[in-house]
Structure 1
């Protein structure tokens, strides 16, 4: 055996100790070793020695050879947090998905996890009756974990690279037809007028009781705000968290534009967009501008009744106390509103799908739709909404024929 190849020592019948030199301890200067016990033949011990030597030469940390998947996942999660590229809610979801992998492989050292083990995890997810999307996400996240483990020297290869990613389910992208969208607007008009009437009735009752002033809330304000949130979502394609984060400084009534620049988290805090594309400005129609102008004036009067002055920082869709609406409270109201108006199961996010589908289906260019939705790249818009593009193949064929038949005309118009 060549010097530096490592040593194999028999410890008993069918038992061998393999030891590989792994350089020197930087602080003490003492030599470090990687050791392993092998049960089997001497040939088995040689194979283990060669594998350990390859791992050490490949950058595996000496003190990381027995770090398990469950021990490393928190290290991976901390790296994600430090990057600042992921929200805590999203990371919590990722960690929940990775629990499926930990059930089978949590106690296994990273260096011992191979492709068949990863495939077994994906198969186990499907055997539980979970979706192809869940299986796909488990594979995707495991791959990310192992990429970071390789970066940190806790593993020398990514076993997920040798496993075909499970196919995700086709996303459920329901969108309203033009007729359904029109009917939703009609229901919103009715709900908004009803909310205004109820707001006035509640105020009259408060006056009769002598309680109109000196209080810390206005009943009925949130009802108008909730209908306004749906109207804004349908007009701009903004996400619910973005709509509920809107402040009056983001709304330009003169130009008819709404700027989407922040989002409201479940805990009530505001968060900045992850990318520059996440900040976008969308023009809204004149009818929506009219509803917003009316509400701005009425909201200012109602908030003034309990000593709050409307400012550019005031939420457009406010609670009874003039603050941001709680997302969970809005979602409860939305379920009641949609189911009571013939839109059972419609998710708020599908208002976003509705806008993209209707615009692309009507021939609006992809870049314009991309900008309105705040997608970082037009390819994202195309990947999600290519099905909505109008079929222009026949028009393209006819145009090509016209160009070839009349090249001089085509040259003049080029």
Structure 2
């Protein structure tokens, strides 16, 4: 890299007749006298900046030379870019993201990232400033969007991680564009997120929850809880089901879509479930057939399977507030159980009934068996003794057969 930086005198030039002397140039007395010149490492073109005072030109020359040698040089245009510019460019770079993803990106950016960082120059973002901001997010003192309705306290570890992740993404993008040489957010310590409690209901506990739902909710609500707890589909997948998705004769429910949110956080039915593996046909346990038959009778094929008390498609967020909190209190289920958490119950009941890892993977719509094992490996019975005993029996049979052949 060419790190040479020099200063040219615009007002004076060499005397053609005597090189040891200088004479006034055509620019004498016009504009700034001292011109600092260097080669831009990105464009490979000569670049300059003029100053009226020699001392200012000397200081700028030294600073520019140091930045070129240290590999941290940026053009004047890039040096003027802010975090807000990087955020806008990063969001614009997303290629057809899901509405729910874009909503989460914008929410974190608009609520917390931009109120603190929007006007900050990218080159002025320091690691210690990000550290202080993370602490402020935790204790609730961080700047936030003025019209936010959320509580004014500190954010949970998961929320802090999400907000930090959006700032980090914008800075990673800025590094990729050459706007900054390194990401100041790298290595920043953020609070660890505790996983969702894994709550497993027994058959009796699940039936008590279904009964409480039938008593305090509706037949549709009870059938929804029964399907979530016995089949293990996701709440969004359940809310997207139509009557035609239920194949009673084949004893299958076809999962091909899910309820998600658009960029403006309005609920919509997406054209696919969470992952490609989520497209599947899940089995209907025989004891749920009667309830599902009752739920689908006299309905149009395209009608929603699970409905609100007004017969409309379920909004799972409203349903959780309106029904779930009430029935879980009435049933006395373990603390921390969520509608999505009923997937754990469905998995544990299936494993207890003898299902192998591939069956559970397909039932839950996991992308890989590894994902299933990481969550539920401890639920499969320890069959080491059973396997080694079978190996001993096979060995004995083989050796006895060999002995019998040798005697004959």
TM-score (norm 1): 0.69
Partner of 1:124: 136
Partner of 2:235: 240
Give the counterpart of 2:174 among 149, 152, 159. 149
Measured after TM superposition, the shift of residue 166 of structure 1 is 4.1
Give the counterpart of 1:68 among 82, 90, 107. 82
Partner of 2:405: none
Question: Given that residues 36 and 57 in structure 2 are in contact (C-alpha distance below 8 angstroms), is that contact kept between their aligned partners in structure 1?
Answer: no
* 1:283 is the counterpart of 2:263: no
| CA distance 1:18–1:251, shift in 2 (3 Å) | farther
| CA distance 1:126–1:295, shift in 2 (3 Å) | closer
Q: Deviations over 1:345-372 (max 9, x none)?
A: 6421121232234434665333322222
Partner of 2:328: 338
| CA distance 1:311–1:382, shift in 2 (3 Å) | same
* 1:271 is the counterpart of 2:283: no
Unaligned runs of 5+ in 2: 10-33, 141-153, 401-408
What's the C-alpha RMSD, in Å, of the aligned pairs? 4.2
CA distance in 2 between counterparts of 1:91 and 1:33 reads 41
* 1:160 is the counterpart of 2:216: no
Question: Given that residues 363 and 389 in structure 1 are in contact (C-alpha distance below 8 angstroms), is that contact kept between their aligned partners in structure 2?
Answer: no
CA distance in 1 between counterparts of 2:42 and 2:162 reads 40
* 1:396 is the counterpart of 2:384: yes
Question: Given that residues 72 and 180 in structure 2 are in contact (C-alpha distance below 8 angstroms), is that contact kept between their aligned partners in structure 1?
Answer: no
CA distance in 1 between counterparts of 2:63 and 2:391 reads 69
Q: Which has the higher contact order (CA 8 A, sep 6+)?
A: 2
Measured after TM superposition, the shift of residue 56 of structure 1 is 7.4
Partner of 2:26: none
Partner of 1:22: 40
CA distance in 2 between counterparts of 1:55 and 1:185 reads 65
Question: Given that residues 360 and 369 in structure 1 are in contact (C-alpha distance below 8 angstroms), is that contact kept between their aligned partners in structure 2?
Answer: yes
CA distance in 2 between counterparts of 1:358 and 1:18 reads 76
Q: Deviations over 1:27-63 (max 9, x none)?
A: xx98656899xx9997896355433576578xx6763
User: How many pairs align?
Assistant: 352
| CA distance 1:410–1:276, shift in 2 (3 Å) | farther
3-state SS in 2 of match to 1:317: coil
Partner of 2:198: 173
| CA distance 1:321–1:361, shift in 2 (3 Å) | closer
Give the counterpart of 2:313 among 324, 340, 359. 324
| CA distance 1:34–1:168, shift in 2 (3 Å) | farther
Question: Given that residues 175 and 181 in structure 2 are in contact (C-alpha distance below 8 angstroms), is that contact kept between their aligned partners in structure 1?
Answer: yes
| CA distance 1:107–1:296, shift in 2 (3 Å) | same
Unaligned runs of 5+ in 1: 11-15, 196-222, 301-309
Partner of 2:100: 89
| CA distance 1:362–1:125, shift in 2 (3 Å) | farther
3-state SS in 2 of match to 1:159: coil
Measured after TM superposition, the shift of residue 252 of structure 1 is 0.8
CA distance in 2 between counterparts of 1:17 and 1:322 reads 76
* 1:311 is the counterpart of 2:300: yes
3-state SS in 2 of match to 1:161: coil
Q: Spell out the pairing of 1:191-206 with structure 2 (5 A cutoff).
A: 191=215
Question: Given that residues 22 and 62 in structure 1 are in contact (C-alpha distance below 8 angstroms), is that contact kept between their aligned partners in structure 2?
Answer: no
| CA distance 1:322–1:362, shift in 2 (3 Å) | closer
Question: Given that residues 199 and 341 in structure 2 are in contact (C-alpha distance below 8 angstroms), is that contact kept between their aligned partners in structure 1?
Answer: yes
